[in-house]
Structure 1
Amino acid sequence: MNTLIKNVLAVLPNGSTKKTNITIKDDKIFSIGIVPEQFNADKTIDGQGKLAIPGFVNAHTHVSMTMLRSYADDMKLMDWLENKIWPVEAKMKKDDIYWGAMLGIAEMIKTGTTTFADMYGDMDKVAEAVEETGIRAVLSRGMIGAAPNGMAALQENCTLFEEYNNGADGRITVMFGPHAPYTCPPDFLKKVIEKAQKYDAQIHIHLAETEDEVKECQTKYGKTPIALMEDVGILDCGVLAAHCVHLSDADIAIMKKYNVRVAHNPGSNLKLASGIAPVKKLLEENICVGLGTDGASSNNNLDMLEEVNLAALIHKAATLDPLAIPAAEALKMGTYYGAKAVGLADTGKIEPGMKADITLFSMQGTQWTPCYDAVSLLVYSANASMVDTVIVDGKILLDKGRLTTIDEEKVIYEANKCAEKLTGKTLKN
């Protein structure tokens, strides 16, 4: 289908904005500017009063954890995981994963996200939800190597790759997902490397999230988590590293050497009191830093604009530098850098030849007035309720705020049923 977005204010790859036309042919952006004479639009979207940005890329989440939103809050990470989250996750069945994924995908589309990188169990059900809804995803089977099902989970990741990599018309990419060094011993990680290399797949892993994790790794192995991953060989595979909060200068040098890409999760790191990642340093070393929400049980939402806003704000305070992460840089972290972080080269920019993954914000209302700088207003003033249209692969998934591929009422009903069964709690909505 050919689509014309007419008279829209677009954020261009260099960070500037321009009133222009965007044409979409099938799944790609065809042109920016004057509409080519040979282009015939099947659908025209009036872009007047709207801001077009590349769709947000959620570079790290556990989408089915929407089932545990508000279930266990205001706790320390390991207490939260061991005593609340992991026991309920152990009860999850495929239906719980599916409806949790549908709920999370609906939330992400409604808040402007077009791609997400996910790590969890029963990922075939997440892949099914991705196929049905039209969103783009980078999926990995989360593996806890120290658990009795560690090897079975690794085989599930292999099966996921065989069945779904490049699936859903190319919208699904599969990585391997060892959880973290503190749950996956080196011998297990070497088995993951062997399989990842067999499939020419990359790796999505949590690294250096907390001070305790780093101290434990140094006590047990005499190395930081980053140095241990270099020693084991994980970094040779191409790595998307979630969190990376507690890093030494030596760690950063290793990450630069191996082109490790970071998924920075400011909201989750703040809520769990994990700390503030040295993002300014990472960017200064030309290390790719995208943004993620983490799971909805530790954030508690999947709103990428909120992460963009937090990334722009907290690093100013952490470094006492108001120029640490400017608005335009924060937006790139949530879009183009995020796409690079999850290994996608053909999305994240509004440019001819790129995938047509575009989000339109309505610029009507007090928070957009006066409009001296649209990118600044988006990052510091707007909110995700202003998302009007979401396009993925050239298909409209959100039209004037209405989901086109998801029955939102049914998803909420089914998700609540699953949540009550899992937790034994009577829900209030």
Structure 2
Amino acid sequence: MSNLLIQGATVLTMEEHDAVFKDGEIAVAGDKIISAGPRGSVPGEFKADRVLDGSGMVVMPGFVNCHTHAAMTLLRSYADDMPLMQWLNEKIWPLEAKMRPEDFHWGTMLCCLEMIKSGTTTFADMYFEMDLVALAVEMSGLRACLSRGMIGVAANAKTAVDESIKLVEEWQGKAGGRITTMFGPHAPYTCPPEYLKKVVKLAADHNVGIHIHVAETKDEIDQIKGNYGLTPVQYLDENGVFDVPVLAAHCVHLNKDDIAILKQKNVRVAHCPESNMKLASGISPVIELLDAGVVVGLGTDSAASNNNLDMMEETRSAALLQKVATGDPMALPSFAALRMATTDGARALGLEDVGLIKPGMKADLILVDFRRPHLYPRHDLYAHVVYAAQSSDIDTVIINGKIVMEGRRVLTMDEKEVMTQAQKCADRLVGEE
């Protein structure tokens, strides 16, 4: 791996609000940042193999998408304007049952392409055929936390367990350390107590966490209360799920006791505002979670329920939604929202060396071109990134010290081929109905 020097950009380190370097420079050796500061701060012994001119750019940590289902890009715009359970039962699950290996491959490649183009450097995925997903991650250059979705009430529940074990044992730490893994029980309403307990034991034995949907809809609340007399959070806690590290997606319908449990058990939350709005699932009490000290990251959910994987857009939606939900224009200010999309997202995935620009951290960086009319005048850079910037402003993406997009051109895959093959797969799937 080579040494890279980025010079002349304004550096948003995301360590704290005022940790900004104008006319800054960042030195990268291999996959790690070795220095970040004003121009001239790079150690004298550092020799760069490549110098990137960041003039007119803002460099910041790459976005961390804490919850998605990658290959569902093939289902984008297939089933819209429906409630969640009808959407799943009548449209999504029947079509997923017809998906072939090539569909998972090209659907995931399309997801990876879209994420790189919009500045995401790390994502958490829960889906099927995860070997193919892992291969796509390896090829694309992205960083990912992968889990095989497991539905405990399904006919293939045991197969899902076996495939999950295989994923963890074969892919944890692979792709140069870019791939980590979790177990992925789908949700409280699809995983009975004994199944959950089995998954918890497996996660503990393999020293990995759990990625699960939690308290997404009112229907889920009613179902779990009717079956067990508990909230989904209480149900998971009672069955020991929170005794291992947990990434809880959505967490829309929570009471004060639920939030206290999440904090006590150090559960990390993946907030998906646009999917929750589109499916009319509700609004997560993000401000209450943050006030309680719960780590909250951001996720897009799938392209079938969003309908894109644009984390810049998701960050804006998260900030605006909390303002209107609380009636407080100061709720979730731009810096806090951007921390959720980067630093806190990495913490939510248990990645301690991702999400900040400082020595020792992984070199996962994006360069945003601020030479655009909608990014002038430059009063507040955080506000510009969250409220004004567009993903098309992202010029360069660096992951694990490697340039994977430069000048808006993705270097790790053939963009036209990915889009062409994904369209062929989607046409065949829909044509089989």
Could you say which residue in structure 1 is the equivalent of 2:356?
349
Q: How many residues align?
A: 426
TM-score (norm 2): 0.97
1:247-287, Cα deviation, whole Å (9 max, x unpaired): 00000000011000000000100000000100000000110
Taking the TM superposition and a 5 Å limit, the aligned residue runs for 1:257-296 are: 257-296=264-303
Taking the TM superposition and a 5 Å limit, the aligned residue runs for 1:356-395 are: 356-395=363-402
1:268-317, Cα deviation, whole Å (9 max, x unpaired): 00000000100000000110000000000000000000111011111011
> How far did residue 194 of structure 1 move?
1.7
Question: Distance in 2 between the 1:32 and 1:243 partners?
Answer: 35
1:171-193, Cα deviation, whole Å (9 max, x unpaired): 00010000001111111111111
> How far did residue 377 of structure 1 move?
0.7
> How far did residue 15 of structure 1 move?
2.5
Establish whether residue 18 from structure 1 lines up as the match of residue 18 from structure 2.
no
1:56-90, Cα deviation, whole Å (9 max, x unpaired): 00000001100100000000100000000000101
Could you say which residue in structure 1 is the equivalent of 2:236?
229
SS in 1 for 2:176: helix
1:152-205, Cα deviation, whole Å (9 max, x unpaired): 001100000111000001000010000001111111111111211111110000
Establish whether residue 9 from structure 1 lines up as the match of residue 37 from structure 2.
no
1:207-255, Cα deviation, whole Å (9 max, x unpaired): 0000110111011100000000010000001100000000000000000
Q: Which runs of 4+ in 1 moved over 6 A?
A: none
Could you say which residue in structure 1 is the equivalent of 2:414?
407
> How far did residue 107 of structure 1 move?
0.3
Question: Distance in 2 between the 1:314 and 1:141 partners?
Answer: 31
Could you say which residue in structure 2 is the equivalent of 1:74?
81
Could you say which residue in structure 1 is the equivalent of 2:170?
163
SS in 2 for 1:169: coil
Could you say which residue in structure 2 is the equivalent of 1:31?
35
SS in 2 for 1:410: helix
Could you say which residue in structure 2 is the equivalent of 1:336?
343
Question: Distance in 2 between the 1:324 and 1:44 partners?
Answer: 40
Question: Distance in 1 between the 2:190 and 2:17 partners?
Answer: 40
SS in 1 for 2:190: coil
2:429 to 406, 422, 426: 422
Q: Which runs of 5+ in 1 are unaligned?
A: none
Question: Distance in 2 between the 1:201 and 1:364 partners?
Answer: 43
1:110-133, Cα deviation, whole Å (9 max, x unpaired): 000000000000000000001111
Establish whether residue 84 from structure 1 lines up as the match of residue 84 from structure 2.
no
Question: Distance in 2 between the 1:21 and 1:425 partners?
Answer: 54
> How far did residue 50 of structure 1 move?
0.4
> How far did residue 425 of structure 1 move?
7.8
1:202 to 184, 188, 209: 209
Question: Distance in 2 between the 1:72 and 1:131 partners?
Answer: 30
More deviation, 102-111/32-41: 32-41
Question: Distance in 2 between the 1:40 and 1:66 partners?
Answer: 42
SS in 1 for 2:188: coil
Question: Distance in 2 between the 1:259 and 1:415 partners?
Answer: 39
SS in 2 for 1:138: strand
Establish whether residue 52 from structure 1 lines up as the match of residue 59 from structure 2.
yes
> How far did residue 108 of structure 1 move?
0.2
TM-score (norm 1): 0.98
SS in 1 for 2:7: strand
Could you say which residue in structure 2 is the equivalent of 1:143?
150
Establish whether residue 398 from structure 1 lines up as the match of residue 402 from structure 2.
no
Q: Percent identity?
A: 54
Question: Over the residues paired in the alignment, what is the CA RMSD in angstroms?
Answer: 0.9
SS in 1 for 2:293: coil
Question: Distance in 1 between the 2:308 and 2:17 partners?
Answer: 27
Question: Distance in 1 between the 2:7 and 2:201 partners?
Answer: 50
1:34-67, Cα deviation, whole Å (9 max, x unpaired): 1221111111111110011100000000011001
Q: Which runs of 5+ in 2 are unaligned?
A: none
